[in-house]
């Protein structure tokens, strides 16, 4: 009887909150996270062969990495285009936090496939300013990082803060400025400085656009003694395809 009541309740819940594909938001009749149309959008790194980029793992003709990257590898399960772009915008700007779990799972699978987790000691994420986080109510990079933390059981710490946004100049920042080092947008959270030293750190963001943000944050971690930095995002902006007839 209890079981039947449960079934009725499940049916009601599925009528009110139908199961949707996390990429295109199409209603699915079965309890899957992704529809058949969107499945091929997930990058299958195990099937990429031939000359690949060491950093992003894509074929060289599809690689969008800029020169001067300070991170070892960039891992992302999807390309930031079409439905993926719309889905991530809903996740980021329209409080669609239901997308955290499936995007996190896709990132985890890509990280396993590219063999990054076995070389990672610590997880961290790109911070938002306190004001921006208050306005939005959450930091989407932090939410994805939490999801990876659950799946990997690796420690997760908020290692970075946005430079100068706290209104106070940290001693570490003053020291760097005096010694002529130039920090970019980020500085380390002073209480976690000892945790950075010698660590292999996976830095999480939602979208890898040009890689400049992740590079700035990686630079800060390396200046403060990180052994190496890997980066992960839910999606990366693809290399622009040449439009036929325009050279
Ligand atoms: Zn779909
Ligand atoms: Zn690349």
- Cα(103) to ligand 1 centroid in Å equals 13
Indicate whether 28 pLDDT > 70: yes
Distance from Cα 60 to the centre of ligand 2, integer Å? 7
> If you measure from the C-alpha of residue 217 to the centroid of ligand 2, how many angstroms do you get, rounded to a whole number?
18
Q: Which one of 5-9, 102-106, 169-173 scores highest in mean pLDDT?
A: 102-106
| Closest ligand by atom to 67 CA | 2
- For residue 187, pLDDT over 50 is answered with yes
Share of the chain above pLDDT 90, in %: 68
Ligand 2 centre to CA of 170 (Å) is 35
Residues lying with their CB under 5 A of ligand 1, a single-atom ion: 21, 23-24, 35, 38
Give distance in angstroms: CA of 21 to centre of ligand 1: 5
Question: Separation of 69 CA from ligand 2 center, angstroms?
Answer: 10
10 Å CB burial of residue 143 (0-12, 13-18, 19+) is buried
Compute, in angstroms, the gap from residue 186 CA to the centroid of ligand 1.
Answer: 36
Kindly identify the ligand whose nearest atom is closest to the C-alpha of 82: 1
Q: Is the model's pLDDT at 75 over the cut of 90?
A: yes
Q: Per-residue pLDDT tens for 189-216?
A: 989 999 999 999 999 999 999 998 999 9
Mean pLDDT of 120-130: 95
Q: Which residues surround ligand 2, an ion (CB under 5 A)?
A: 53, 55-56, 63, 65
pLDDT value, residue 4: 57
- CATH class of this structure's domain 42-236: alpha beta
Lowest mean pLDDT among 35-49, 61-75, 177-191, 219-233: 177-191
- Taking the whole predicted model, whether its pTM rises above 0.75 is answered as yes
Domain boundaries, the chain: 1-40, 42-236
Which range among 28-32, 108-112, 144-148 shows the weakest confidence by mean pLDDT?
28-32
């Amino acid at each position: 009887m209890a079981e039947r009541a449960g079934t009725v309740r499940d049916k009601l819940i599925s009528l009110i909150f139908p199961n949707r594909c996390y990429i295109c938001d199409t209603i699915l009749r079965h309890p899957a996270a992704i529809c058949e149309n969107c499945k091929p959008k997930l990058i299958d790194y195990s099937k990429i062969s031939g000359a690949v980029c060491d950093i992003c793992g894509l074929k060289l003709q599809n690689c969008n990495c800029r020169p001067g990257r300070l991170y070892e590898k960039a891992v992302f399960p999807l390309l930031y285009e079409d439905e993926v772009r719309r889905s991530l915008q809903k996740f980021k700007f329209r409080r669609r936090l239901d997308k955290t779990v499936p995007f996190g799972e896709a990132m985890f699978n890509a990280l396993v496939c590219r063999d990054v987790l076995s070389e990672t000691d610590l997880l961290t994420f790109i911070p938002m300013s306190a004001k921006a986080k208050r306005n939005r109510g959450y930091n989407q990079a932090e939410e994805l990082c939490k999801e990876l933390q659950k799946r990997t059981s690796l420690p997760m710490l908020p290692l970075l803060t946005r430079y100068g946004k706290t209104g106070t100049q940290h001693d570490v920042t003053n020291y760097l400025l005096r010694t002529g080092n130039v920090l970019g947008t980020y500085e380390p959270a002073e209480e976690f400085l000892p945790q950075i030293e010698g660590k292999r750190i996976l830095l999480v963001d939602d979208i890898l656009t040009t890689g400049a943000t992740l590079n700035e944050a990686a630079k800060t971690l390396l200046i403060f003694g990180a052994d190496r930095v890997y980066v992960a995002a839910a999606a990366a902006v693809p290399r622009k395809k040449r439009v036929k007839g325009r050279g």
